[in-house]
Structures are given as structure tokens and as C-alpha cells.
Structure 1
Amino acid sequence: MSQSQSTSFDLLDERIRRWIWNEQWTELRDAQEQAVPAIINADRDVIIAAATAAGKTEAAFLPILTAMLSSDTMGLTLYISPLKALINDQFSRLERLCEALEIPVWPWHGDISGSLKTKFLKHPEGVLLITPESLEAMLCNRGFAVPRIFADLRYVVVDELHAFIGSERGKQLQSLMQRIDSAVDRKTPRIGLSATLGDMQLAADFLRSDQLRPVHIIQSKSEGGDLRILVKGFIELASPDDDDEKEKTKVVESVSSHLYKVLRGSNNLVFPNSRAKVERYTYALRQMCEANNVPNEFWPHHGSLSREIREETEAALKNKELHTTAVCTNTLELGIDIGSVKSIVQIGPAPSVASLRQRLGRSGRRKGEPAILRGFVIESELTANSHLMDELRLDVFELCAMVSLLLDNWFEPPKTDGLHLSTLVQQLLSLIAQKGGITAVNAYSALCINGPFNNINKSDFVALLRHLATKDLIQQDSAGVLLHGQKGELIVNHYAFYASFATEEEFRVITGSRTLGSIPLSNTISVGDFILFAARTWKIEQIDEDQKTIFVHHHVTGRPPSFNDHGGMVHDHVRERMKALYESGDAIQWVDTVAADLLDQGRVAFLRHALRSRVLTQAGRNVLIFTWLGDMANEAIASMLKLRGFNANCFGPAIEVFNAEVDRVADTLLEFSNEPMLDPIVLLHGAYNLRQEKWDWALPDDLLQKSFASLRLNIVVAHKWLVTNRSTILHALN
């Protein structure tokens, strides 16, 4: 590697240059060339956005380690990862380099021995690899030692930055970084690494929320090769004997049979969008291996499996002697090192375009190999009784819209304006533990004025403190210092406290004295709503949020409600692209003949029902409102209708209003279009299932409604749509 080839190479420590030579690198990659001069002086925050396998880890650590070696004291670099498995990977990766430099590397999570942690705490220097939860535990349990532990902190590196932005965990991470800065009384440079960032400025604002200095942004030139795409369609036949489960099994077997033929003999990732479907497809594929007397090549990977089983799958993927296909949830979407895979399979629409892009980054990592995306969509067979929403072939249009946006290099910008009051509760309790008590004024200053909760006003913060006191989570002594209440003390001293996110909970469904089972629900629900369960439609008659129980009775309705089952909140822009695909007569080159037929069928239905211009249409006993908006705006409009006594559910690009007529629905929408935009507290009055985050149970009702609305509803876009479409809605009355 000559000087003419790389100016950044000469800035690195001689020992690191020697290591690069020994690794037989021929050049620094684009991200590394740009990152070395930006990071080496430790005088700014930096974001490195580059494709998967573009060398982001080395881009950050080559200059960081050079800076550490050039100082009189080694100092400490804090590396924060969303996954323990990623920490284990990075430990193996960094240890080889750091061992030659005599810089210690310390993995720190629940599986690491106490003796190793004690050894680090005696001499906190080198590179510390940690999760937000373990960092939370350190601040809580070693609060008075925090200034000493991080006294010589040089850098904070956040890996998989996109995985944190807009989430409860992300707000926790922002707070933890701010609390460390406060403990050492200076701003430590922060380095964010990510392969998927929809809006660089929003990402920069997340990395340093006080915005007192600009963030240096590095966007690496694309190093990817060719991209090959094929979307295949499948038809789930109507069951003549009302045995829908039998037909579902048949179509799973049909998809699995194709996967068996095209994936065997190579490494691949299959994403079916839910844990249940992971199990279903893995079972079908393994049965085919057994039937053909060949070694199994198909392995499951999801969050409910034990660590040992997940690690077996990861080891099989890394083993160059084996051919392995992992059928997985988003557990293999992030940067765990599993080597290169030949193709990515997406069954049904992805949670988001950003998620699809992240998954695709796993494929085509070897030089000269294309990235391969295989999309599979399953639509129901049309009959004389088929519903309009079935005729529209929504899934094939949604997946095609996502692939189209992916090819345009668009993906969702992170949502950064949520209140995240659940995490504020956790961080308040954690701050009290760290400091041994804190005044309300100082807590507000640390968390809200100078911290990441800067969209929380003083009156709401005071109301929150008073409510937490009624829950015995906090108390105030005679000197005005906030301390843990008895219940708060018990909670903070339990290991489950350190995670800011809740594990997925399900509602039990009970009819009479019989328990039907349990169902996960992310939507708001109200008494009188319908749910689909055990292949039947049920009407909700009572809700017990504390016991997570829904009481129902069987009720026949024109169309069972649909709940989003692919794990994401669909963005407005995806729905806009879907409508554009319906309106276009152009053929799509990367679909098979079945998917092309499904697209044609959807376009015919779209034209027949005049959905280019029509907003409301009667569908049997129900009314469909076609907004072509994203899920957050549609959920806001559905909530408005519920205020007026309607049973309304979001259904893809539409809102379905049960047992209603167009005239009454149109009148109600016109009323809302002529009124000021609704306050979240009014809009969500009487709504249940607002407790979506871990600490939502501790919030007073009005703050819970505000927090939920900030994270799950887009009231502004919903109101704008109502105003913009006033004349179209009025036309439906004529």
C-alpha cells in the first residue's frame, strides 16, 4: 500500500500499519479512508454510514486505537452494541488486532464472569464492549464509581445506530451517554456506525441531541455489486370444507417445496415475519430433507429460542464445510458475523424498506457475487364472495412497492419526535440509584433540559413525579431529595430493571368460561371492536388491561378485521408507491407469471371500484375509507371514528368501518375536517391497549395518551388528509 494510494494509511500507528500489511490488505476501503482523519484527533462526533461488510468497525477502530497508542495514558473506548452476540463477534475481531498492540479488550454482558469484570474495574482502560442494559446496571450499581471508571474515556462507539433510533432503547442509550458526559464533566466524542440510515441529519441529532456542535457525516461510496430480484406469487386455495388451516398448510408446503429446490447447497436467510411462521417453514423444510434422505440444511433462529439453539444456527452458517439456510426473524437482520449468504428470502411484505435493505446487505458480500432477493407473496383464491381487499392483492403490491423504493435508494427516515415517557420513568429511577437521591430540579435538568427528554415540559414532569409517588415508586424527603419508594426500591434492585423495553405480551381471549388462547395486539382496542381468532370473528365485550385479558362473544360480521402481522408500521411513502403501482399499467420485470397475474387482478379491481379518485366505498355491510396513508395516520383516523361510536380498524391502505353506511361515515369525516386538530387526550379517550412500552403502567392517563400518540399516531397527517379530501368526501354523499 503506497502513499500515493492512501493518505490515511500514513496517519495510522506503525504497529497498526504493520498489522494491515500482515493481513494482506491491498487498500483501505472508502469508509476507512474518510474515517481516519475525521476520528483520529478526537475533536468531533462522527457517523459512518456504509454498506454491510464495508469495513465500518475497522473504519472506527483503526484511528481510535492510533489515538490511544499516541497518548501518554491508554485511556478507554466504550463500544455499545444492541446485541450480546454482536459483542462476542466484535471481541473476536478486535482481540486479534489489539493483542499485538497490547491494548486489552473487555466484553461485558450477562454471560461474562464476575472475575473478568472485577479485573476491568480495577484498571478501566482499553476497549469495553457492552450493551445498553449492562451499562445501565453499571451506572445504577456503581454510581459513585462512575466518574472514576470513565475518567479517561476517549471515545464512545455506537454500533448498528439505526437499530436504536426512535425506540425506547434508543432513548435509554441517549440518556446513558449524557449521564456519563455529566459524570466526567466533558463531552466525549461519539462515533455512530450504521448500514441503514434514512435521514442523516436525524441520525446526527440522535447521536448528539443537544446539537451544540455539528456531527461529521461519512457516507461511503457503494461497494455493492449486481442485484438480482425475483418476486414469486402463490395462491392459497379457498377451502370447500371451511378448513382454512388445511389450505394454509398446503400453501406453506408449496412455498417450502420451491425453497427446498432453490436453496439447498448454499447459505441463505429466510424471513417469514413471525416466530410462528419461522417454526412452520423450518419444520416443512426439515421434513423434506428427511423424506429425501439428505442431511438437514434448514435451521430456525428467533428470540424465543434458547441461546444454545440460536448459536447452533449461527455456527452452522459460519461453518464453510456446511450448507445452511436459517429461517429467522429480525434476530439475524443486524450485524452478527455469519459470513456471506447467497440469497435473502422475504416471505410477505417486509416490516419496512429499511429492514429489507438491511437484510439484503447480508447477500452478495463476496467480490463478484450478486446480491439476490427472492420475494414470496401469498394471496387468497378469488371466489364469488371475495372481499374487495382480497381483490386488490394488497400483499403483492406492498412488497413490490417496497422493492421499488429500495431500487430508488429510499428508505424510511427514523422517527425521533416520540415522547418515550416509559423510558423517562426508568431513567429517573436509575438516576436516583446512581446519585443516591436527587432533587426534582436537578433531575429535570439532567434528563430534560440537558438530556434527551427535551420535549417534556416542566408541568408534565411535575405531574409525572406526583403520580410516581402515588405508585410508591418514588418519595421525597424533608430536604426535597427524591428517593426510591418501597416498590421502586424492589424494582430497581431486580435484574429485569435494566432493560428499557418490554418483552412481547399477549392478551388472553376468553368467551364465557372458556379460554380460547392468547393473541398479541399492537393496535388500540375498545369495547365493541372485533377481533379475528381461531378462524372466527369475536366482538369485545370487556377489557381487563391489568390482567391482559379480553372477554369476547362470537359475532358474525361481513369481514373479519385485519391486524398487521409483519411487524412494522408502514410508512406513508410506501402506500403512495402502492397507489402509483395500481395506477400504472407498466409491467414489472422482476416478478414471475403468477405475481404478474396478481398485479393485473389488483389493477382491474382498483379501476373497477374507481379507487384512483374515490375515497369511500361500501363493501357489504362495512365501509372502506381509502386514504393511501401510512399506519400511523390511518390509526389516528380510526381513533377519531371510534370517538363517534364506530367500530373501525386499519386495513392496509384503508380503514374499515364495520356495520356502517357511507353517508354516516362521510358526515363524520366532514365534521372532523371542519374542526381543529384533536388533542391526543381527547382522541384516545376510552381507548384500551395504550400500554405498549415497559413502564407505561406507571404513567397517569393523560401522559400515557400523549406518549402513545407521539409514538403510534400521526394526527397532523390525518387531519391534513381530512381537510385536503373534503370535496371528495362530500362527493360521496351525492
Structure 2
Amino acid sequence: MTQEKPSSSFELLDAQIQRWIWGEGWTELRDAQERAIPAILSEKQDVIIAAATAAGKTEAAFFPILTTMLRGEAGHGLTVYISPLKALINDQFGRLTGLCETLEIPVVPWHGDVPSSVKSRFSKNAEGVLLITPESLEAILCNKGSKVPQLFAKLRYFVVDELHAFIGSERGKQLQSLLQRIDIAVGRKVPRIGLSATLGDMRMAANFLRPSGGEAVEIIESASEGGELRLLIKGYIEPSSLNGAAGDEAPPPSPSEASIVQQLFKTLRGSNNLVFPNSRAKVESYTYALRKLCEREQVQNEFWPHHGSLSREIREETENALKARDRSTTAICTNTLELGIDIGAVKSIAQIGPPPSVASLRQRLGRSGRRKGEPAILRGYAVESEINARSHLMTQLRENLFEMTAMVSLLLENWFEPPRTNGMHLSTLVQQILSLISQYGGVSAGRAYMELCSNGPFNNVSKSDFIELLRHLGDQNLIQQDSSGVLLHGEKGEILANHYTFYAAFSTEEEFRVISGSQTLGSVPISTALSVGDFILFAARTWRVDAIEEDIKTIYVVHHVTGMAPSFNTPGGRVHDEVRQRMQKLYASEETVGYLDETARALLNQGRQTYCRLDLHSRTIVSSGGSTVLLFTWLGDGANEVIGAMLRRYGLTPAPCGPAVELHGTVENIEALPRYLIELAREESPSVESILSHTFNLAQEKWDWALPESLLKKSFASLRLDIDSGYSWIRRHAEKILNRHRY
């Protein structure tokens, strides 16, 4: 290894690993690798390695880990690598095998597609590097409970990849619990190594990696300088009235979509790119339109779909096309290609519509500009409807363009949403109680509370709440207590805990498999009626439905020349306060935005003119008709939901409306809105019970159905509501609204 600068960390590595690095032609270690090697070799602390995509995080972790394993006096020991995606496990298996084969350290993948014979061999001699998902780790603890201490006795490290993808989610809370339970089983704290994109608050990430011990986690953020960024947001105007397609023909793309397709075709062909249209249905429609355009122009197809409902074979076909060096490929994708699956370098990222979050946009952009000397390229496409006499006020404000522009401006300032780590996730706690019973064959209430709550990841659950939960689970026959006080599965709990779907902490949509001949194309959630003879668009091709077997959730199709996009349920992102407040700054500003094209600049000016015309700088309540008003808060979704929920008690019906809360009611209670806000402001800080007293449909997570109503409300509020921000806004603005109740 001919180094461009001295490296003390390189000398700390095992000689075999040094030779492998030389053989790969590396001239130097990257910043994250230099700093991570001595920290991980200490074997005494938890470490987070935070860097952009393709900054060498995997090597930063595994060079020192493998060095430690090679120095083991009683064998190599075990390292458990945990990934959110099976595809990422398969990717890392290929990446690590080449290095580990030379070191004679086994690498074992473990997920649903891995043969049982491979798992059985590993279980007999648990050494090497185990690549696994949280769900498979859950299955091990449930099904091999008595053997868990022996199975993980030689465990030296946990490596959690894509740490940021777990934070604030059901799977994340499950993962924290699994790590804690294994620590207890082996009787020691196993060092945890988190690999992550850089987050807005890395200390929060540290507290996630090691609950109640985050202050001791060493955080290594790559000091590598970002390269050049080339950026353009193009604006499009959708005509207000469109004629639909007749008969069985697939609805043609709207004029704006057709223009975007032409632009993508013109600018992306001849290079590798990723296009994010924000939904699976849009992935299908854009890929289909681009492939049809390739056929019309008689050129080779370069456009491939990638989303979670496609079969593994089809997704891998797209991934392999991106990695191939002999052709150009553009993937139209959802966030399935946002995480760290190796797809090689891409030239540019195209974002159609506002991204789910600034953090998501940053992760996507990290795929571009990875080759030395090449810029990262981001193309944004903002679509706004043509304004007519019936246009909604948010259309007149050009909300989509302003939200996208606000997110990009925050990205340029290196701001992104801090992870939300205060969620109770009581749904996952239900699962973990049942899982703990499976692991031990029964557990006392005191031990369950200690492992999961007082010393575990659910440390914001009080004893009284835990007791209430246990009683409710008993009432539902999920658990029972024997004469000695040991908690066991109830009849219903035993059935659920012994089904393969139990291992996932999150719920999945009920989907139908789509089969053509002997090939499974993937699966699709059907939210609209579907009949034999209908046409669907899937895997960027059109199919006729030949048969539907509801009992086995299967659709049989044959290829056809027409089709229509299936209906996918795609929840949007949760917008942060900071994004909405940046939007207001953009509305109030007169400064030009240099990365907007001519149409986008015109849309920006239209939005600003509407903002000034309505005096939204100082005005909060704006009429949208006799019985409807918009309450402009310029807050995020969590705070707006609080304000809307509190106003329900007055007979108003709230609806989310971007930076505002749209309120529907009678003329009388709409006119009384200023008085209602004054009354709310004079109350003590509201309780969760009072905020959600008139709100229904709170069950959002897999096991929420098993919660008593009081705990369901607490869990929902902790995950979705920003009570402090919402109530503070009411108190700040109530008197001003009363004094200025102009409509």
C-alpha cells in the first residue's frame, strides 16, 4: 500500500488484512476508517460511524473487527451484523466473503431465503460473521430460547447497518430490545457498532444505539469534504381539466407527467441515474412511459423499475443493470434504493415532487457524485395545477414548489430532521412481552418489566402503565398468569406467537401475489375492486387478469398491450416544523432562488403574490368559504395535528393542509374560532386524554389493537403529536388572533 499520507491506523490492522488492502490497490485509508480502527480495536466501547453513502463505513467497521477476531486465542468468536434489508445482507455477503475467505473466517447470511441447512450448520458452531435481519434474530430468541446463551457465548460485536433507518420506528424499538435481551443472555455488554448516514443530532443516535448509555458512545463523523453539487428544480403546470381515457386503455400520462418523461428521456439516457417519484404507482407509470418512449424512438431500453412489491428477481435485475459497466441504466424507484445496497456510482438523482423529508433527500443525493472529480447532480420536478376560479388556496400558494424549495435550501445548509426517539411504541412492547415468554418458557412480571422497561429500551413506560397493559393482555387471552405468578401465553397469544408473521414488529399490507406462467412478478396491495379481464400495470409492463384466487391471495396474469396502474397505499412523510417555517421565509422573501428554471421562478412569484395579497405574514385565519377556514400555523404535521385535535371539541372538523389546518363546521362555530383559541390558551397544558378525546382511528402500529384505550392514546401521541409546539403556538397567537379576526 503506497500511502499518500502516513497512517497510524493501518499499522494496527492484522497483516493479512493489510495485504488484502494492498491487493485492492488502495493508496490510503479514508477519514472514517482512520478514526474508527483504534476505537473499535479497544473492544471496550460502542461506536457510531457516520458518513455519506460509499464513504467506506463497512470497511471502517470490519477491518478492526476482523483484526480482533484473528487475534482471538480461543477461536475467531462471533460478530453479528444486523441489516434492515435482506437485499443489503445479500450485498454485504458478497462484499465480505472475498476478504473473509482469505482470513478463513466464515460469513453466514441468515434470513427467510437462506436454506435451513446453512442455519443448522451455523447453530452447531456459531463463529464468524452472521448477517441477519431483526426479524430473523427475533425468531432465534423465540425458537431457541434455552440455547441463546450458548449460541451467542462467543459474541464479540454487534454491527447495526443503516442505523438511521431504524431510529423512531417499530423495528428500531424491537432491535433495541433484542440487543438488550442478548446482552442479558450472555451476561455482559457486547460492543455495538452503528453505521449511519450523518443525522441532525448524532447524540440522539448514540442514545438510540445504547439506551441509558449514549453519552459513552464514541461518534465518528466523517470529515470528508462534500464535492460540487449541481442543482436544478424545474416547474410544470398541470391543466385544470383533463379528459380521461376510454374503455380498457391505460390512462395516458398527464401533460406535466408527459413533459417530465420527455425531459428524463432526454437528459438521463447514456448514464446511470436514480429517479424517485415518491410512490410505487408512480414508479410503474413513469417506467412504463419511458420504456414506451424507447420503443417509439427505436432505441435500447435503459429504464428499470425498483420497489418493494416487485419480486426479488426483478429488483436484482435492476440492481445488476445499474452495476453493469457495459450499458447505461436509470432506475425508477422508491426508497428501496435509498439505503446502502451496492449499485455502483450514479451520475444524477431526479426527485419528482417534494421528498418525504430533508434527511431522505440527503440520503438519496449521497448516491450521486461518488466518483472522484464528478459533481453530485440533483434534478427536482415540481408540478402545480393551473389556477382557475375554483382553485384551492394551497394551489394558489404553489405549496409543492415551496415545500421542495424549502427542503433543498435546508439541505444546502446541512440541516436535516433530528430523529424522533421519544416514541413509546407500546405496540412493539406487546410483541416483546410475548417474545420474552417464548424465550424463557414463561417469565415473571417483575423480570419482564426489568428487562424491557426499567433496564431496557421501553424506559419511558411506568410501572402503573405496564401493569395496566398486562391486565389488558390477560383480558384478551394473549397472556395468563399461573399460580406461582409466572406469565405464560394465553390461548390466543400462543397461536399468534407461533405464527411466522409474529417475528416482524411492523404490519404489512395484505397483498396479492402476481403470477405470469411460472414466474412470480411480485405482490401488490389491492385497494380497489379487481376482476377477471381487468388490466394492470406491473413491473413496467401491462397485463390482463386471467384468474383471481382470493383464498390464496393470488392474481394470474398474461402479458397484454394495455394496462392501468394498480392502486398502492403510499403514506407520505411527516413534515417538520423547520421545513414549514422555511417555506414561510421563502414566501416573505424577495430574493431570487438561483436553482429554479423559468417556469419554477414564475410559480414562486405567483405563490409570493398570493401570500402578500392575503397578508399571511400577519394574518392567521383565512376564509375558504362560509363554513371553512384555513388556520395558518406554519408548523409541522405533529403540531398541526395537536391544534386540529383540540379544536374538535367545539364541533369543528380539522383536516391537514400543509402549513395550515383546514377547519370545517357551521358558520356559527367558524365565526367563533378566535374565542375557541382564547379559551384553549387559558387552559393548563393539555393532557393526551383531552387532546384525543374526540379522535378515532388511532391504531397505527401492528399490535395497537391489543392496547387499552388510555395506553393507545399515549402511544399514538408519543409517536405522532408535537404537543409542546402545538400548544405553544395557540398560546402565542390567541390574543393576536382575537384582536385581528379578519376573514
* CA–CA separation in structure 2 for the residues paired with 1:361 and 1:143: 40
Q: Please report how far the alpha carbon of residue 222 of structure 1 lies from its aligned counterpart in structure 2 after TM superposition.
A: 2.6
Corresponding residue of 2:88? 86
In 2: Cα distance, 1:482 partner to 1:568 partner: 39
SS of the equivalent of 1:445 reads helix
Per-residue displacement from partner, 1:405-459 (whole Å, max 9, x unpaired)? 0000000000000100000000010000001100001100010011100000001
Which deviates more, 324-333 or 670-679? 670-679
Cα offset, 1:727, TM superposition:
2.4
**TM-superposed deviation, 1:224:** 3.1
SS, match of residue 254 in structure 2: helix
Is the 8 Å Cα contact of residues 351 and 566 (structure 1) preserved in structure 2? no
Letter of the structure 1 residue corresponding to residue 280 of structure 2: R
CA–CA separation in structure 2 for the residues paired with 1:120 and 1:629: 51
Distance 1:371 1:504 in 2: 35
Q: How does 1:201-600 map to 2 (within 5 A)?
A: 201-211=203-213, 214-239=216-241, 249-504=254-509, 518=527, 567-600=572-605
Confirm whether residue 717 of structure 1 aligns to residue 722 of structure 2. Answer: no
Rounded to whole Å, the distance in 2 between the matches of 1:119 and 1:363 is 40
TM-score when scaled to structure 2? Answer: 0.89
The equivalent residue for 2:675 is 667
Counterpart of 1:10 in structure 2 is 11
Partner residue, 2:734: 726
- Which stretch of structure 1 is more off in the superposition, 151-160 or 193-202? 193-202
1:247 Cα offset (Å): 8.7
Q: Give CA-to-partner distance per residue, 1:612-663, whole Å, 9 cap, x none.
A: 1111111223100000000000011111122221111010000001245553
Alignment-derived partner of residue 67 in structure 2: 66
Q: Distance in 1 between matches of 2:684 and 2:424?
A: 22
Match of 2:615 among 610, 632, 636: 610
Q: For 1:200, which of 187, 199, 202 is the aligned residue?
A: 202
- Find the aligned partners of 2:263 and 2:255 in 1 and give their Cα distance: 13
Question: Which one is further off, 42-51 or 311-320?
Answer: 311-320
8 Å contact from structure 2 (residues 349, 378) kept in 1? yes
Q: Which residue in the other structure is 1:553 paired with?
A: none
- 1:487-541 per-residue CA deviation (whole Å, 9 max, x = no partner) reads 11111111100000111479xxxxxxxxxx948xxxxxxxxxxxxxxxxxxxxxx
**What amino acid is aligned across from residue 500 of structure 1 in structure 2?**
A
CA separation in 2, counterparts of 1:474 and 1:566?
A: 33
The alignment partner of 2:697 has SS state of: coil
Q: Which amino acid aligns with 1:130?
A: I
Q: Is the 8 A contact 2:207 2:214 kept in 1?
A: no
Query: 2: distance between equivalents of 1:733 and 1:363?
Result: 49
Deviations 1:146-174 (A, max 9, x none): 00011111110000000000111000000
Alignment-mate amino acid for residue 688 of structure 2: P
Instruction: Name 1:169's counterpart in structure 2.
Output: 171
Cα deviations by residue, 1:8-49 (Å, 9 ceiling, x for unpaired): 000000111111111110000000000011101211000000
Distance change >3 Å, CA 565–CA 389, structure 1 → 2: farther
**AA of the residue aligned to 2:106:** P
Aligned partners of 2:32 and 2:49 also within 8 Å = yes
SS at 1:15 equivalent: helix
Quick check: 2:640–2:661 contact (8 Å CA) kept in 1? yes
CA distance in structure 2 between the aligned counterparts of 1:428 and 1:85, rounded to whole angstroms: 29
The aligned amino acid for 2:660 is A
Q: Give the counterpart letter for 1:711 in structure 2.
A: L
2:123 pairs, out of 121, 124, 137, with: 121
State the distance in 2 between where 1:128 and 1:80 align. Answer: 8
- Structure 2 letter corresponding to 1:229: L
The aligned amino acid for 2:59 is: E
**Whole-angstrom CA distance in 1 between matches of 2:570 and 2:2:** 53
Residue type matched to 1:259 in 2?
L
Q: CA deviation at 1:388?
A: 1.7
TM (normalized to structure 1)?
0.90
Distance 1:240 1:700 in 2: 48
Q: Which amino acid aligns with 1:85?
A: A
How many residues are aligned here? Answer: 681
- Post-superposition Cα deviations, 1:29-74, rounded to whole Å, max 9, x if no partner, equal 0000000111012110000001111100000000011111112021
**TM-superposed deviation, 1:477:** 0.5
Amino acid at match of 2:227: G
Judged with a 3 Å threshold, the aligned counterparts in structure 2 of structure 1 residues 43 and 484 are, in CA distance, closer, same or farther, namely same
Are the counterparts in 2 of residues 273 and 566 from structure 1 also a CA contact under 8 Å? no
1:672-706 CA distances to partner (integer Å, 9 max, x unpaired)? 11112221122212422211100001101111111
Aligned twin of 2:637: 631
CA contact (8 A) 1:41 1:67 kept: no
Describe the SS at the equivalent of 2:346. Answer: coil
- 3-state SS of 2:718 partner: helix
Task: State the secondary structure of the residue aligned to 1:156.
Answer: strand
Letter in 1 for 2:267: V
Identify unmatched segments of 5+ residues in structure 2. Answer: 512-525, 529-568
Kept in 2, the 8 Å contact 1:614–1:728? The answer is: no
Report the secondary structure of 1:378's partner residue.
strand
Q: Deviations over 1:91-120 (max 9, x none)?
A: 111111111111111111111111111111
Three-state SS of the structure 2 residue aligned to 1:581 is helix
Does residue 136 in structure 1 map to residue 138 in structure 2?
Answer: yes
Tell me the equivalent position of 1:601. 606
Rate the CA distance shift 1:292–1:257 in 2: closer, same or farther, 3 A.
same
- 2:85–2:133: 8 Å Cα contact kept in structure 1? yes
Q: C-alpha distance in 2, partners of 1:670/1:476?
A: 50
Alpha-carbon contact 1:270-1:344 (below 8 Å) kept: yes
Deviation at 1:611, TM superposition (A): 0.3
Measured in 1, the distance between the counterparts of 2:340 and 2:132 equals: 15
Which residue of 2 is the match for residue 544 of structure 1? none
CA contact (8 A) 2:238 2:254 kept: no
Q: Tell me the amino acid that sits aligned with residue 464 of structure 2.
A: S
Query: What's the counterpart of residue 657 of structure 2?
Result: 651
Cα separation, 2, equivalents of 1:592 and 1:659: 41
Identify the residue that residue 99 of structure 2 maps to in structure 1: 97
Q: Which residue of 2 aligns with 1:107?
A: 109
Per the alignment, residue 55 of structure 1 pairs with 56
Identify if the C-alpha distance between structure 1 residues 278 and 349 changes in structure 2 by more than 3 Å, giving closer, same or farther: same
Where 2:672 maps in the other structure, the secondary structure is helix
- Per the alignment, do residues 10 and 702 of structure 1 end up closer, same or farther by CA in structure 2, a change over 3 Å counting? same
* Structure 1 Cα separation of the partners of residues 335 and 2 of structure 2: 42
Q: 1:642 to 1:578 in 2, by over 3 A?
A: same
Partner amino acid for 1:55?
G
Change in Cα spacing, 1:160 to 1:478, as seen in structure 2 (3 Å) is: same
Q: Give the Å deviation of 1:223.
A: 4.1
Contact 1:623 1:660 in 2 (8 A): no
Inter-CA distance 249–69: structure 2 relative to 1 (3 Å threshold): same
Distance 1:213 1:725, change over 3 A: closer
Q: Which amino acid aligns with 1:642?
A: R
Counterpart of 1:41 in structure 2 is: 42
Contact kept? 2:203, 2:215, Cα under 8 Å: no
Residue type of the partner of 1:602? G
CA separation in 1, counterparts of 2:81 and 2:400?
Answer: 39
Is 1:152 the counterpart of 2:154 in the alignment?
Answer: yes
Q: What is the alpha-carbon distance in structure 1 between the residues aligned to residue 311 and residue 342 of structure 2?
A: 19
User: C-alpha root-mean-square deviation of aligned residues, in Å?
Assistant: 1.9
